[in-house]
Amino acid sequence: MKIAIVGATGAVGVEMLRVLEASTLQPSEVQLYASARSAGSTLPFRRRDLVVRELVPGPIPADVILASAGGSISKAYAPDWVAGGSVVIDNSSAFRLDADVPLVIPEINPDAALSHRGIIANPNCTTAIAAVAVWPLHRAFGVRRMIISTYQATSGAGAKGMEELLEGTRAYLDEQAVEARTFAHAIPFNLIPHIDTFQDNGYTREEMKVAWETRKIFGEPNLRVSCTAVRIPTLRAHSEAITLEFERSATPDEARELLGTAPGVELVDDPAAKRYPMPLTASGKYDVEVGRVRASLVFDGGLDFFVSGDQLLKGAALNAVQIAELLHERGALRAVTSSEVVSGR
């Protein structure tokens, strides 16, 4: 199997290569693509240095393309990649809500991936981290309403977001002016309740993605979801406070039992020992940390809890590689016929 990573030099692309290195997949070839700026640079993979190539229009000679160079690149290039016989696992938001593109978290809706028509979408990072924790509770108790407040790391805005935090923090400590380039305001020693663009309903697109995508992944078009998304001055791993109202009453003990064995979840819930999810402990981990599980004081039989997950991993690179593994294991890595090709709108 030949695998290509598009956007290989970005915050997510670098992680895709690392996760691939540790995965069970044994690609015969790994090709790396980025902009002309990075062409000729190298990245290590299984004791070899792979050379980054410039992405140019047209097909890529790979069975699987893991794409993470942004929505406009995916939109413009993916139809050609599919027409050239590749299966595209796309980390951007370009195709996530298209009816003929599966939106997949392997722990939740693996079968959706099998009916792909050339493109499979990887969910938004905030959505993915919440979804792996909420899904086992939804199956047991039926989520009726879900309220999320997020604490999102600067790496959610890519490598340049992390640089802006580090440079800005140095400037702030040196009593220099702090520049805001990637973010709407200075991020060091601040937090910003503004991620992506504002919609007519007053929510941001990031907040609405959590609602739209969770409904699609769960197959629950009427699920009530409300989110407030906030950027905070951490480097990596998103955290989220989640409140759930259920059809059937849940207790914290029942929830902890389910979460303790749920795939993709690590229960970190021992407040007396100061153990709870945090970005510093969740960073670099494949599993999403879940803790602070308690009975809701607002919704009878509902729950409050806190999650921290490495959004570059489960929220992006890891989920994408897991989709590739799933397709490989289930024999669904096939070129689509021309009549199946998605519109790529």
Selected binder of ligand A2P within 4, 11, 65, 148 (CB under 6 A): 11
Determine if 160 is a binding residue for ligand A2P (CB under 6 A): yes
Rounded Cα–Cα distance for residues 51 and 216 (Å): 37
Give me 191's structure tokens.
């937090």
Instruction: Report the C-alpha gap between 221 and 211 in whole angstroms.
Output: 10
How far apart CA 160 and CA 182 sit, in angstroms, is: 7
The DSSP output letter for 193 is S
Q: In 3D, which of 265, 227, 213, 204 has the Cα closest to residue 150? A: 227
DSSP state of 221: T
**Could you tell me the smallest distance in angstroms from the CB atom of residue 60 to ligand A2P?**
12
Contact window for ligand A2P (CB under 6 A) among 156-164, 213-221, 249-257, 322-330: 156-164
- Judged by CB under 6 A, the residue of 17, 43, 55, 101 near ligand A2P is 55
| 78-86, 153-161, 183-191, 228-236 -> range binding ligand A2P (CB under 6 A) | 153-161
Q: Tell me the binding residues.
A: 9-12, 37-38, 96, 152, 155-156, 231, 311
Write down the H helix ranges in 89-243: 110-114, 125-141, 159-173, 205-218
Residue positions forming the annotated binding site for substrate: 152, 231
Report how far residue 128's alpha carbon sits from residue 270's, in angstroms, rounded to the nearest whole number.
Answer: 24
The answer to whether 51 and 43 are in contact (CB under 8 A) is no
Q: Does 37 bind ligand A2P (CB under 6 A)?
A: yes
Question: Shortest approach of ligand A2P to residue 45 CB, angstroms?
Answer: 15
Q: Looking at beta carbons, which residue is closest to ligand A2P? A: 10
Among 69, 125, 244, 324, binds ligand A2P (CB under 6 A): 69
Query: Nearer to ligand A2P by C-beta: 33 or 305?
Result: 33
Q: How far apart are CA 23 and CA 38, in angstroms?
A: 25
> Would you tell me which residues interact with ligand A2P (CB under 6 A)?
7-11, 13, 34-35, 37-38, 55, 69-70, 73, 158-160
- The catalytic residue positions are 125, 238
